[in-house]
A and B are shown apart, each in its own frame.
Chain A
Amino acid sequence: MRIHEYQAKALFQEYGIAIPRGKVAPEAGEAGEIARSLGGRAIIKAQIHAGGRGKAGGIRLVSSPAEAEKAARELLGKRLATSQTKPEGLPVQTVLVEEAVERLRELYLCITVDEAGRCPAIIASAAGGVDIEEKARLSPRKVQRFPIDPATGLQPSEARRLADSLNLDQSLVEPAVTITTSLYRLFTGEDCLLVEINPLVVTTDGKLLALDARIVLDDNALFRHQYLAALQDLSQEEPREIQATQLGVRNYIKLEGNIGCMVNGAGLAMAVMDLIKMAGGSPANFLDIGTLNAPERVTNAFRVFTQDPEVKAVLVNIFGGMARVDIVARGIVEAYRQMEIHVPVVIRLAGTNVEEGKRILRESGIPYIEADDLAAAARQVVRAAGGAMGEKGNL
């Protein structure tokens, strides 16, 4: 789960990591007031769940409260598109107003999960700021990587070696050790997958300050951090995905195409999407319906499909294992009973209780196209989607 910069900075503060003075504002007048309290000169930062804000005009330097209010008004209530968002961008509902910090240097500090080493790793660079990925690519030796054994945690000696690699003034080595240690405590204490400070700056008055903050939390660990779960901002998520989640349809990802897909298992769901593409079609979504034997979840997945005007045909591909095919079939029949389904539906069933599942579908009298195998199912649904688009148009 991603959280906003201002939320991440609040966590930084809790763990003793210095951040610029400032406050978050939901409306422009308040942004002006905060700028006034900071002495007029300030930075206005749009709060969205994506990077690349600076280049997209989402971060503005202002020199008076009036300018702050104007900048905030231009950002708030609008959508901001960056190189890391979809073209339509993400809604800006708050801005962070902070003091403008004079700095001598920009560094980079981050803790992430090292998948190959199966442990936390600290990544540090003496050259931080924008385009860190590009800098890392051009001169990889400038980026240091320090794997940490979670059993012993970050040792002071390791933190000192890391601080040394940043070519800091001697007076800043101890503060750097403290920041790194605090960041590691935050990473483990709040079950983070990523904590990043970019840039970590050396100010003109010789201090280290976290100018930006990015945190990704582990969804699977939210059960032990109730207050973190409350930081979720649904406005930053895809509306159809929120709707699906509210209907109990998890693992649904909205895509650009027009074929609704319902598959059990994540790998098989991806493979089905690939097959549709190979057959010349385009999936409207990824959906792993899961292994739970709950017919209402199948019915609700149809509700998500029928409410999406892009969907011109539906492919159901279920290989029963834990999930029983007959229960899925009941969920489909129930969907036809509860809602108007005008798009063609191709169904391919296999595995546990397949005969019973097929019998339920045939005897129900619902209109559907039966497919025998994976490849045939993909071909049929692509053909059906083309026909449906030409003949029936929208739902």
Chain B
Amino acid sequence: MSILIDEKTRLLIHGMTGSEGRFHAQRCLEYGTRVVAGVTPGKGGSSLLGIPVFNTVPQAVAETGANTSLIFVPAPNAASAIIEAAGAGIPVIICITEGIPVKDMMAVHSYLKGKPPRLIGPNCPGAISPGKSKAGIMVGDIHRPGPVGVVSRSGTLTYEAVAQLTQCGIGQSTCVGIGGDPLPGSTFVDILRLFQQDKDTKAVVLIGEVGSTLEQEAAAFIQAEMSKPVIAFVAGITAPPGRRMGHAGAIVSGNSGKAQEKIAALESAGATIVRSPADIGNTTRRVLEKAGLVLSCDNQR
């Protein structure tokens, strides 16, 4: 099994006719994702890569049964695209767009409060369930199906971690990038809870970074509710305070934002800490072996 996306995923790509949308629609199709619809206002009725394009999300859902939205809409209109997808009843919404104003995201969160749709991102690489479906911008071919869930605030650092896992013969159930923004749609806790419930995920690799208290909240959840082993790396022990390290959310302000504080919290919650980002794969392998978990790594994809 997997979380969020699988072979039943019917993907709608919002902003598919833009250059990034089109490029990644192609990559998702090549990976085997069922891309069923594109949405671009004003381009309804046309088709791209053999996929019908609609003017609005509700139309696309009615015609194609899309159940996941992948958003490439430029920042000024991206929040509106999230709300449109949620309003159309799409249960999983993944927003790749970087640079959405904070005020717009606060409106999105206010709208989503108490409603069922799950938002991943924004400013994230998306999600992939290896061998089943890819709804994001990550490189598909470094992933292998297997028992380890990966959740991360970063994009390329996740590729690095996944490549190490695959090299160590460890496949992944689902890899989720929750994004580098200060107000993410889903937090570490949200994704850890899904991994804890997923019977095919045997362990979780968590990749955090400076800024916010998402890792501390994850630590509290791990201590209280996780029975599965968690392997954690936190980037930014050398990040200077007060500076935004590329990601809008990666800023050390006060003690709680420091990598050292996050590492301490995760460690005392029972997570296995990886000190060097080069050791994520082999540490995970050691944890799995120690727990007596069988490694399954079929090299189909």
Contact = CB atoms under 8 A, between A and B. Distances in A.
Interface in A253-298: 253, 255, 263-278, 283, 286, 288, 291
Contacts of A84: 242
Given A115-B212, A319-B156, A321-B156, A275 B110 contact: no
B183 A267 contact: no
A320 B212 CA distance: 28
A207 interface: no
Interface string B101-117: 11111110111000000
B138 A268 contact: no
A351 B282 CA distance: 20
A307 interface: no
B49 interface: no
A16 B123 CA distance: 36
A268 B155 CA distance: 8
B43 interface: no
B142 interface: yes
A221 interface: yes
Interface stretch (A60-68, A116-124, A158-166, A167-175): A116-124
Contacts of A113: 102, 106, 182-183
Contacts of A116: 213
Given A115-B212, A274-B277, A321-B159, A352 B139 contact: yes
- Among A268, A350, A378, chain B packs the most CB atoms within 10 A around the CB of A268
A84 B160 CA distance: 35
B250 interface: yes
Q: How large is the interface on A (under 10, 10 to 19, 20 to 34, 35 or more residues)?
A: 35 or more
B157 A120 contact: no
Contacts, number: 160
Interface string B233-268: 101111110110111101000000001000000000
Given A265-B156, A269-B245, A351-B159, A255 B276 contact: no
Interface string A177-188: 000000000001
Contact of A118 (B100, B105, B209): B105
Contact of A278 (B105, B107, B209, B276): B276
A286 B245 contact: yes
Contact of B160 (A188, A221, A273, A319): A319
Contacts of A352: 139
A268 B238 contact: no
A351 B100 CA distance: 28
A15 B162 CA distance: 51
Contacts of A291: 137
Contacts of A322: 137
A374 interface: yes
Contacts of A288: 246
Given A253-B243, A269-B245, A150 B106 contact: yes
Nearest to B24: A322
Contact of B158 (A150, A218, A267): A267
Nearest to B107: A150
Interface string A86-124: 000000000000000000000000000101101110000
Q: How large is the interface on B (under 10, 10 to 19, 20 to 34, 35 or more residues)?
A: 35 or more
Contacts of A193: 102
A370 interface: no
Contacts of B35: none
A263 B159 CA distance: 13
Contact of A191 (B102, B158, B163, B236): B102
A220 interface: yes
A369 interface: no
B145 interface: no
Interface in A42-95: 84
Contacts of A263: 156
A267 B207 CA distance: 9
A321 B138 contact: yes
A320 B197 CA distance: 33
Contacts of B109: 118-119
Contacts of A271: 157, 160, 233, 235, 277
8 closest cross-chain pairs (CB), A and B: A267-B154, A266-B246, A265-B156, A267-B157, A375-B278, A221-B101, A271-B277, A118-B109
14 contacts: A149-B110, A188-B103, A191-B101, A265-B154, A266-B154, A266-B245, A268-B157, A272-B277, A319-B160, A319-B163, A351-B142, A374-B277, A375-B276, A375-B278
